[in-house]
Amino acid sequence: MTTLITEATLPAAEAPAPGGRLRLVLSRLTAAKGVLVGGTIVLLLFLLAFGGPFITHWDYATPDYSALRQPPSGTHWFGTNGLGQDVFAQTVRGLQKSLIIGLLVALFSTVVASLVGACAGYFGGWIDRGLTFLVDLLLVFPSFLIITIISPKLKGAGWIAFVVLLAAFNWMITARVIRSMTRSLREREFVRAAQFMGVHPLRIIVRHILPNVASFLITDATVAVGGAVMSETALSYFGFGVRAPDVSLGTLLAAGTDQAPVFPWLFYFAAGLLVLFVLAINLIGDGLRDALDPTTEAARPARTSRSSK
């Protein structure tokens, strides 16, 4: 204390300033085991999904009439289905679709939900009323019905349109929660402090509001990935969404469910990969949440003693 002032006025020859939150979060992330395991699994799944087609000479759509409903063997690794299509080729193809659809839907819906929710909560007034009205409107729409009506019309646009459609009906509940969380955060002093410093409102949302609702967002997004894969499955089952000859894990499961007891290879490979994927996503989600929350014990860098001042 005594020498504080004299010290402070000395010219500072400083090491470059530390890289701030981003770098800290990254270093905490890499220190977490769950993220590492989950990330590795997801990476392997992606490798399988996109590399798989190159290691087998079977095509997912072309039937092999010499092998109908054959169990796994040297020629057909995962066996074949009733049409003589190679199940391995179909599974990796389906995995490809499901991975992309699941991740994209979760990403889109979380981004939309957090932006809409945070803006409604932060700005209040007519922006809030408008956005809340939109949310309520979309919530009362029977989304499943609408998707089934719209999706045939989007045939030409392909699976990306399907992703957008799924995401469009998947963000409202999250947005509502984010809105109410934002409303209470907005009254907190650190947000006020930022306002008085002249920080731009959108920047306040990105820098202060969203990180403070991140735990919820991430948990929600991991649930959403699973949910999206499930929705896709359900829709595909009824013939909407991904349609033959294209396949997804959903269509595969739908096709394999009733044959599972007799021809297990039609069902369990797809199901196993789906479970593995959802599990890995949850591991990553948990790790991410802990890395963003500085108060969690596990990922905290060794607690430094409070130096006395």
Partner 1 sequence: MITDLIESRDLLEVKELAVDFGAAPAVRGVDLRLKRGETLGIVGESGSGKSVTALAVLGLLPGSASVRGSVRLEGRELVGLPNRELAKIRGNKIAMVFQDPLSAFTPVYRIGDQIVEALRIHQSLDRAAARKRAAELLDLVGIPEPERALDNFPHEFSGGMRQRAMIAMAIANDPDILLADEPTTALDVTIQAQVLDVLRKAQRETGAALVLVSHDLGVIAGMADRVAVMYAGRVVETAGVDELFARPRHPYTLGLIGAVPRLDTGGGPLVPIPGNPAALGDLPPGCPFAARCPLVQDRCRTAEPPLAGTDGHLAACVRADELAERRPAPSEVYPVPTVPPPAVSVPREEREQVLRVTGLTKTFPVLKGTVFKRRVGDVYAVDGVELDIRHGETLGLVGESGSGKSTTLFELLRLGRPESGRIELLGQDTAGLDRAGAHKLRADIQIVFQDPMASLDPRLPIGDVIAEPLLAQHAPRELIARRVPELLRQVGLEPAHAERYPHQFSGGQRQRISIARALAVQPRLLVLDEPVSALDVSVQAGVLNLLQQLKAELGLAYLFVSHDLSVIRHLSDRVSVMYLGRTVESGSVEAVFEQPRHPYTRALLSAVPLPDPPAERARTRVLLAGDPPSPTERQTGCRFRTRCQVYAALDADRRGRCEQQAPPLAQAAPGRDHAAACHYPEA
Cβ–Cβ < 8 Å for 142, 225: no
Q: Which lies closer to partner 1 via its Cβ, residue 4 or residue 262?
A: 4
- Quote the least distance from Cβ 151 to partner 1, whole Å: 38
Distance CA 148, CA 238 (A): 9
Q: Which is nearer to partner 1, 54 or 196 (CB)?
A: 196
* Nearest-angstrom CA–CA distance, 309 and 114: 40
Q: Which two tokens stand for residue 110?
A: 């979380």
Cα–Cα distance list, 28 to 291, 294, 296 (Å)? 5, 9, 11
Nearer Cβ to partner 1 (207/243)? 207
Token duo for residue 133: 């009205």
- In the complex, minimum distance from the CB of residue 282 to partner 1, in angstroms, rounded to a whole number: 22
Tell the smallest beta-carbon distance from residue 40 to partner 1 (Å). 27
Per CB under 8 A, residues contacting partner 1 are 1-2, 4-5, 7-9, 12, 14-18, 20-21, 24, 188-190, 192-194, 196-200, 203, 207-208, 211-212, 214, 292-295, 303-304, 306-309
* Nearest distance in Å: CB 129, partner 1: 12
33 vs 200 by CB, closer to partner 1: 200
- Distance between CA atoms of residues 156 and 237, nearest Å: 20
For the bound state, the minimum distance from the C-beta of residue 38 to partner 1, rounded and expressed in Å, comes to 22
SS3 86: strand
Residue among 155 and 189 whose Cβ is closer to partner 1:
189
Give the separation between CA 271 and CA 260, rounded to whole angstroms: 11
